[in-house]
Amino acid sequence: WAFGGMIFVLVYCTAGISGGHINPAVTFGLFLARKVSLPRAVLYIVAQSLGAICGVGLVKAFQKTYYEEYGGGANELAAGYNKGTGLGAEIIGTFVLVYTVFSATDPKRNARDSHVPVLAPLPIGFAVFIVHLATIPITGTGINPARSFGAAVIYNKDKAWDDRW
């Protein structure tokens, strides 16, 4: 529940500032749908990536033992799975997240239900929770490219870069 609950809180808190953009995959999807301009999408993605690097740096500074024990939070393909399976899991997981964001923030839905903008982070957080349940055992879940990038940059060991999707 931690991942999904935190996403719910983060999207809810940042929706009025940036539209809740905390994931480059979602930002890219919204750019392709022409809901975000190219300069804004680039700035969001850079900010998301820098924020992830800073966040992982703080975790490393304050929790060095756990940081090293868990491989710096870097994504890693689990034993018994090939790269094709890992890539497929990440593509499906990211699709589920982006589709949920589009569905939860659909302007037609807002016209029918005045309470939907307030509740939009709830299905988004739930989608993140479900995707994590499905993909953590396979890849460690890399549906947020910024989070995966930040972990790989700070951890900076070969394995951290081997399984970047």
Predicted confidence (pLDDT) at residue 160 exceeds the cutoff of 70: no
Question: Inter-axis angle of helices 24-32 and 145-155, to 10 degrees?
Answer: 140
Residue range 99-135, pLDDT digits in tens: 999 988 887 765 555 554 667 888 899 999 999 999 9
Counting the structural domains of the chain, the total is 1
Mean pLDDT of 7-17: 84
Backbone angles phi, psi at 84, to 5 degrees: -65, -40
Q: Is pLDDT at 158 greater than 60 in this prediction?
A: yes
CB atoms within 10 A of CB 134: 14
Say which DSSP state 105 is in. T
Both tokens of 165, joined, read: 């999707």
In this structure, what CATH number is given to the domain that contains residue 23? 1.20.1080.10
Q: Which domain holds residue 6?
A: 2-162
Q: Give the predicted TM-score (pTM) of the model.
A: 0.86
Owner of token pair 């905390």: 22
Q: Is pLDDT larger for residue 1 or for residue 108?
A: 108
